[in-house]
Structure 1
Amino acid sequence: MPFRHPMTQLSHASLILLMIAALAGCTSVQYYSQAISGQAALMWSAQPVAAVLNDPEPPPELKAKLATATTALAFASDRLALPVGDAYSDYVAFERPFVVVNLMAVPEFSLTPHQWCYPIVGCQSYRGYFDPDDARDEQAEFDQRQFDTFIGGVTAYSTLGWFDDPLHSGFTRLPDDRMVALIFHELSHRVVYMNGDTAFNESFATAVELEGLRLWLEQMSQPERFQQALTRLQQRNQTLALVADASVRLEAIYQRQQEISPEQLRAEKARQMSQLREDYLALSADWELPGPFGRQPPAFNNAHLALFRQYNQHVPAFRQLLRELNYHFDDFYRAVEALSELTEEQRSKQLATLAQRFDEHL
């Protein structure tokens, strides 16, 4: 099969960059330039999955991964009603452990993350970089402003359908079930994406990932393997409860900024962060699988808490909504789209009501 040059996609990227240049300053243009050049480098390095499968040189382990991914993509289209198109039809190999890194920045005495706003995709509470050094440069600027920051590696990301995202070695290094779940997660971002609400977007994608994986494993006659995913989910939920409790205490402290000195605020904050770390270590001591923050978590700050809350807080609500719609994914996506069009207050109320009805064992 001949190599498929992504000239159309690159011309779209160039057009976006020209739009940005007209709207933004030099720093923004520099940021978007690295993003577009990084995406272009991935696409130029790609080769069709079918060609890799027909090539005698790649190792059998890689071919098995790509064959599994191909089957999962058909399942995503047919059973999960996800808009697959030509996504993940190409493959890219790279040596680095992550495809991009994300920077998150939160004010010293707040749990509301800084938001970066972009043409087309809107606002997000993180900023992605292909080069970790670029992320560290911007991190240093926030550190000088007394922000709490965190840089984390990202195994995969979605371009929301603007480009045909490739499969890459970040996917194929994962166990099969986690690779398939990640494919479902990233494809779901093509369905509904809400400007400025990372918690909504990521919780929705995580719900599709979980329920999609459960159905996939049932089709593969391996339903027992979903138990490991449920174990990871239970650990995530237990950790989320700790983070939520700590967040309540921290927000009460931060509301006293007009009453006590910055030094006192920092001391109270440090005590709460230290207590959260101790609680997490006690909670996870007997877990067979590493928890969401690993075996030895870092010294927590506001950025760690804000990021974790955003990726997990609405997952039970979306899973309950899908359950009530009898796992008809087309209906589910329409319902999620309707939720995204509500006011923030209405949306939060409906999600909270759905979450209250959710029971994992029903």
Structure 2
Amino acid sequence: MRQLSQIYLLLLLVTPLNGCTTIGYYGQAIGGHVSLMMKARPINQVTTAPETDPELRRRLELAAQAREFAAKELALPVDDAFSKYVALGRPWVVVNLVAVPEFSLTPHQWCYPFVGCQSYRGYFQLADARQEQTAFRERHYDTFIGAVTAYSTLGWFDDPLHTGFTSLADDRMVALMFHELAHRVLYINGDTAFNESFATAVELEGLRLWLQQQGAPEGFERALARLQHRQQTLALVDATSEQLQQLYASQNQMDKSMLRAHKAQLLDELARNYANLAGQYEEPGPFGPPPVQLNNAQLALFRQYNQHVPAFRQMLKELNYRFHDFYRAAEELSRQPADSRSAQLKLLSERFVENL
């Protein structure tokens, strides 16, 4: 699956929590983030150090330019974000666990102080995520663990750059910076699809303007090709999800072994259709190179990260790419009830037409 980001608000002023599992989770979360922050060095120190690898120096200098562009041209609240760098020794910063009941497409929700409920849980150590995954599997949940390239603390902390960014191609590193900075603008408790689609729209349109300034518009065509791959895959996932929803609605009238057989058939068919589609791509598709094995958790996660991107891009287009106005309009939309919000996003999506 494409590189993931997540919201990861870690406050040391958390109210007292009950239960060893909860305390253990917050312990690793706070400890992991504090460790990350303590290892961070100012970027100007890294770039001027004689021992710094020349390619890393170039990447960090490019990131500094993108950071300034984000503040001036995209009206993003940069503050001191991405002003420091951490060498992780790996291309991901945390891993996400998603868990969905065996006969459902509604993810399990984890609820946190301040940020509300989310349909994933992040871990700094893979072993911790796998331990939690085992507990869900024993309850017959479908699960998925995905590497997370970056996360946002919504402006509560000055998030650093790290190896997760600098291991990407230039255009993807810049796009991911714009994505994470967009999370500092707007966040809705419990609506992952809204939050991630909004940030992805800022990422894409910001990247388009950045590449135009850099005199490399062909880079945006590559980004659009990746987006098209995600949208084509999303169409397949949506069609299969509709069939699965109908199947799961009959679970009280059908033997579980028969339910599992029908479910496996639908997921296998989706995997074959994805393989046929991904075979046409120059880069690996959103689920990676075929063959792939899919389950409820992967489908639920993929739908949430891609659902409303055309809607937000259309909103920005109708506002003539005035980012300040776009942020205000998106914030007004966020205050509406969920049903009204979804209806307006659907109408915006229907009006969207890609202009290369």
Specify the SS of the correspondent of 1:258.
Answer: helix
- Distance in 1 of aligned mates of 2:133 and 2:97: 7
Q: In structure 1, what is the equivalent of residue 5 of structure 2? A: none
CA offset digits 1:58-98 (Å, max 9, x no partner)? 01100100000000000100111111000010100011231
Q: What is the aligned counterpart of 1:141 among 113, 135, 141?
A: 135
Which residue of 2 is the match for residue 82 of structure 1? 76
Q: Hey, what's the Cα distance between the residues in 2 that align with 1:312 and 1:264?
A: 31
Answer yes or no: is 1:102 the counterpart of 2:96.
Answer: yes
Q: Which residue of 2 aligns with 1:70?
A: 64
Cα separation, 1, equivalents of 2:287 and 2:278: 10
What does residue 125 of structure 1 align with?
119
Task: Return the letter of the residue paired with 1:287.
Answer: Y
Aligned AA (1:69) = A
Give the C-alpha shift of residue 36 in structure 1: 0.6
Taking the aligned partners of 2:305 and 2:155, their CA distance within structure 1 comes to 21
Q: What residue in structure 2 maps to residue 3 of structure 1?
A: none
**In structure 1, how many angstroms separate the alpha carbons of the residues matched to 2:313 and 2:85?**
31
Determine the C-alpha separation between the residues in 1 that align with 2:269 and 2:320: 42
Decide which moves more: 64-73 or 289-298: 289-298
Between stretches 90-99 and 198-207, larger displacement belongs to: 90-99
Q: In the alignment, which of 221, 237, 241 is matched to residue 215 of structure 2? A: 221
For 1:95, the aligned partner's letter is G
Name the CA distance, whole Å, in 1 between partners of 2:329 and 2:302.
25
2:171 paired with 1:180: no
Give, in angstroms, the shift of residue 54 of structure 1: 1.4
- 2:278 is aligned, of 284, 287, 312, to 284
Task: Give the corresponding residue for 1:6.
Answer: none
Aligned counterparts, 1:1-362, within 5 A: 13-16=11-14, 19=15, 22-361=16-355
Distance in 2 (CA, whole Å) between partners of 1:262 and 1:215 is: 52
Distance in 1, matches of 2:355 and 2:150, equals 30
Percent of pairs with identical residues? 62
Q: TM-score, normalised by structure 1?
A: 0.94
After superposition, the C-alpha distances for 1:188-244 in whole angstroms (9 at most, x for unaligned) are 111100000000100111111000000000011111211100110111110000000
After the TM superposition, which segments of 4 or more aligned residues of structure 1 sit over 4 Å from their partners? Answer: none
Counterpart code for 2:68: A
Displacement of 1:162 in angstroms is 1.2
Q: Note if contact 2:98-2:108 (Cα within 8 Å) is conserved in structure 1.
A: yes
Deviates more, 1:25-34 or 1:308-317: 25-34
Amino acid at match of 2:108: H
**Cα RMSD over matched residues?**
1.0
Kept after mapping to 1: 8 A contact 2:88/2:163? yes
SS of corresponding position for 1:219? helix
How far apart, in 2, do the equivalents of 1:24 and 1:350 lie? 40
2:4 maps to: none
User: CA shift at 1:35, angstroms?
Assistant: 0.4
TM-score under structure 2 normalisation?
0.96
Q: Please give the alpha-carbon distance, in whole angstroms, between the structure 2 residues aligned to 1:39 and 1:15.
A: 14
Tell which has more relative contact order, 1 or 2 (C-alpha 8 A, sep 6+): 2
Cα distance in 1 between the residues matched to 2:183 and 2:50: 34
Instruction: Return the alpha-carbon distance in structure 2 between the equivalents of residues 149 and 297 of structure 1.
Output: 18
- CA drift of 1:297 comes to 4.5
- Unmatched 5+ stretches in structure 1: 1-11
Q: Confirm or deny: 8 A CA contact 2:237 2:303 kept in the other structure.
A: yes
Residues 327-354 of structure 1 show CA distances to partners (whole Å, capped at 9, x for unaligned) of: 0111101111111111111001100000
Q: How many residues align?
A: 347
The residue matched to 1:151 in structure 2 has which SS? strand
How far the C-alpha of 1:13 sits from its partner, in A, is: 4.0
- Aligned equivalents of 1:54 and 1:350: distance in 2? 49
Q: 2:146 is paired with a residue of what secondary structure?
A: strand
Unaligned runs of 5+ in 2: 1-9
State the SS of the aligned residue for 1:155: strand
Distance 1:24 1:299 in 2: 37
Task: After TM superposition, give the deviation of residue 294 of structure 1 in Å.
Answer: 1.3
- 1:292-318 residue CA offsets vs partner (Å, 9 max, x unmatched): 011124311000100000000100000
Query: Aligned equivalents of 1:187 and 1:323: distance in 2?
Result: 20
**CA distance in 2: counterparts of 1:49 and 1:295, whole angstroms:** 35
Residue of structure 2 in register with 1:5 after alignment: none
